[in-house]
Amino acid sequence: MRIQTPTQLRPCIFISFVLLAGCALGPGKSHVTVRNAAKQTITSITVEADGNTAPFSNVLPGESREATFRIWGDSSYIVHVTFASGKELSAKEGYLTNGTETEDVITVTSSSIEIAVHYPAVP
């Protein structure tokens, strides 16, 4: 059996430190506002982030809904929309991770879903 020298242990110590630091960050928090910028009612909209789902129904044109998600790892928003006409849209965008807080906006138009992730400024 060979004994490792301190120089050989450095990579193991560094990797252990990074893993422990990542765990110590805790969950992130993402607050999202969903806006209906289309000219018709959204009969169903589902927003998913990090395995958690926020369903909304009957969102009239110009209205907004809000949800907050705890983010435990790397994730993104998955959005599914159904309009009163039966038309459907889907999108998967944004980067979310633990240890950060975001204030995000999902804007739904008649033809697209725009997802904007905003990280607050650090003083």
Which tens digit of pLDDT belongs to each residue from 74-113? 999 999 999 999 999 999 998 888 888 899 999 999 999 9
pTM attached to this predicted model:
0.76
Which tens digit of pLDDT belongs to each residue from 37-53? 999 999 999 999 999 99
Distances (CA, A) of 35 to 5, 16, 20, 25, 106: 59, 43, 38, 31, 6
| Cβ partners under 8 Å of residue 41, min gap 6 | 58, 59, 60, 61, 83, 84
Distances (CA, A) of 99 to 18, 21, 85, 94: 14, 10, 40, 16
Residue 108 burial class via C-beta count within 10 angstroms: exposed 0-12, middle 13-18, buried 19 and up: buried
Q: Sorting pLDDT into bands at 50, 70 and 90, what band is 18?
A: very low
**Other Cβ atoms within 10 Å of 87 Cβ, number:** 12
